[in-house]
Amino acid sequence: MTINIDQQAQQIIIDNDRGGYTVPTAGLYPYQWNWDSAFVALGFMQFDQVRAWQELETLVSAQWDNGMIPHIIFRQEKEGYFPGPKVWQADKGPISSTGISQPPVLASVVWRLVDQIDSSQSIEKAQQIFTQLNAFHQWWHNARDIEGSGLVKITHPWESGRDNLPDWDEAYADIDVGNVGEYQRNDTQHVDSDMRPTKAHYDCYLALVQHGVSCDWEDIKIAQTNPFWVADVGVNAIFIRAEKDLLKLALKLNLQPQASAIKARIERLEKGFEQLWNPEKEAYCTLNLRTNHHSEHVNSATFMCFYADVGSKEQRKLQLKRLNSWQQKVNFMVPSFNPYDELYDELRYWRGPVWGMINYLIATGLSDAGESKWAEAIRKDTYTLIKDHGFAEYFSPATGQGCGGDTFSWTAAMWLCWAKDAI
Ligand code: GLC
């Protein structure tokens, strides 16, 4: 019996289900990850709506009192994952977790569930989750924008969800790795080390975890002293979109006072986002707030200005031009990092490869902005990559080769909720 690709996608998600929550892939990532779970809910939505909501409910059940929803939730102690709960020492939430968050796509996923399935059940679920979503967003403002500049900052490369982007390299110079000591990585036992972050970068990741521990994961202390305090274009664009989707939800649920507060927050964020514009590069670029320095590199998050619905006509036109030029350099869009840059590396994780869920975000924005030709082209590339190379974690923009972990939950979810309908 031949199993069709939709069934395969569904089966991957079912196999990665650990009972109410889904792991990104067995072995390499044995816990619940924040934005992975949000994307996976979009996959479940296509065949099991009750389970889709449950994925989100288990995610928010790990929320800390300050509103933070952690990046990894260590529901069960697993041998062989590093750095695990003992390294993080972040026991501030109801469930053991890391002390940082991840890109806040959650509210946008909830809005998509409510918008597409207009049932009394989804309204009821949205009502139950709204306060937690709002607290999560307020946490980003309180903890990650103590200056009130309208830009939220990340405190660890892992908080960006794009772990080893070359944009972070500059900030590593200020990180003291002297106390990191000896450690045993496990990721390189699952995946070829050429596809994973280098040891030097891993040292920095661990030094930043140690710094968080030394601050007892107190938001204010971290904001004031963390050596890594960087505004990422991806997180900011995703957050603006999430605030806009939360506003739609508040209006749908008739929550007027909350809606007014969210509107004010959006205004501040939209203004703040313009600080990311790098006129020399004609792109939205990472801004290091410790040095006040724009990155000279361009990564694919610059195309998320459409997703956030920000930027002038001219600024957006320049990004469309850039899409054209990148397309000439690669066979599959959208590489995570500028393929003309000398730091571009087609196989190494976030330094080049194509990621299905990033393509979904970029294409959603382009489609909303009326750029349907581009939105479809990106969807078609994602379709071809998955059909010909399987449900890999990410793909080479040159050959399409599937890289990293396989039977990956979010790649399967993106197939089901978006890529499979490519025309
Ligand atoms: C890697 C990715 C991150 C993802 C996690 C689990 O750390 O960079 O974005 O959430 O794996 O899939």
Q: Scan for tokens 């389970």, then name that residue.
A: 51
Cβ neighbours around 265 below 10 Å, total: 21
Nearest CA to 361 among 304, 423, 285, 284? 304
163 is catalytic: yes
Which atom, in ligand 1's list, is nearest to the CA of 36?
Answer: 10
Residue that wins the pLDDT comparison between 369 and 119 = 369
Residue 189: per-residue pLDDT: 87
- Rounded CA gap, 352 and 358, in Å? 12
Out of 163, 187, 371, 381, the active site residue is: 163
- Rounded CA gap, 163 and 149, in Å? 24
Nearest CA to 379 among 320, 421, 321, 330? 421
In 3-state terms, what secondary structure has residue 61?
A: coil
pLDDT tens-place string over residues 306-317: 999 999 999 999
Out of 243, 245, 393, 406, the active site residue is: 393
Residue 91 — φ and ψ, nearest 5°? -90, 55
Q: What is the mean pLDDT of residues 293-318?
A: 98
Cβ contact 235:203 at 8 Å:
no
Quote the crossing angle between the two packed helices 256-273 and 120-144, to the nearest 10°.
50
For the cut 80, the answer to whether the pLDDT of residue 3 exceeds it is no
For the cut 90, the answer to whether the pLDDT of residue 227 exceeds it is yes
For ligand 1, whether the C-beta of 36 sits within 6 Å is yes
Q: For residue 71, report the distance from its CA to the centre of ligand 1, in Å.
A: 9
Per-residue b/e over 201-222, b at no fewer than 16 CB within 10 Å?
bbbbbbbbbbbbeebebebeeb
Average pLDDT, the chain: 96
C-alpha distances out from residue 333 to 9, 16, 345, 356, 404, Å: 21, 27, 15, 10, 18
Task: State the pLDDT confidence band at 190, using cuts at 50, 70 and 90.
Answer: confident
Q: What is the mean pLDDT of residues 285-298?
A: 97
Residue that wins the pLDDT comparison between 195 and 101 = 101
Name 411's Cβ contacts closer than 8 Å, sequence gap at least 6. Answer: 356, 357, 386, 391, 392, 393
Q: What is the mean pLDDT of residues 204-231?
A: 98
For ligand 1, whether the C-beta of 371 sits within 6 Å is no
Q: What is the mean pLDDT of residues 91-111?
A: 97
Q: For residue 408, report the distance from its CA to the centre of ligand 1, in Å.
A: 11
Residue nearest to atom 2 of ligand 1 (CA): 161
Q: Scan for tokens 């065949």, then name that residue.
A: 47
For the cut 60, the answer to whether the pLDDT of residue 1 exceeds it is no
For the cut 60, the answer to whether the pLDDT of residue 232 exceeds it is yes
Cβ contact 42:417 at 8 Å:
yes
Q: What is the pTM of this model?
A: 0.98
Cβ contact 35:103 at 8 Å:
yes
Nearest CA to 42 among 365, 406, 419, 405? 419
Residue 399: per-residue pLDDT: 98
pLDDT tens-place string over residues 137-164: 999 999 999 999 999 999 999 999 999 9
pLDDT tens-place string over residues 21-71: 999 999 999 999 999 999 999 999 999 999 999 999 999 999 999 999 999
Q: For residue 25, report the distance from its CA to the centre of ligand 1, in Å.
A: 10
Q: For residue 113, report the distance from its CA to the centre of ligand 1, in Å.
A: 23
Q: Residue 129, class by beta-carbon neighbours within 10 Å (0-12 exposed, 13-18 middle, 19+ buried)?
A: buried
For ligand 1, whether the C-beta of 394 sits within 6 Å is no
pLDDT tens-place string over residues 344-396: 999 999 999 999 999 999 999 999 999 999 999 999 999 999 999 999 999 99
Residue 2: per-residue pLDDT: 57
pLDDT tens-place string over residues 6-24: 999 999 999 999 999 999 9
Encoded tokens for 21: 């929550």
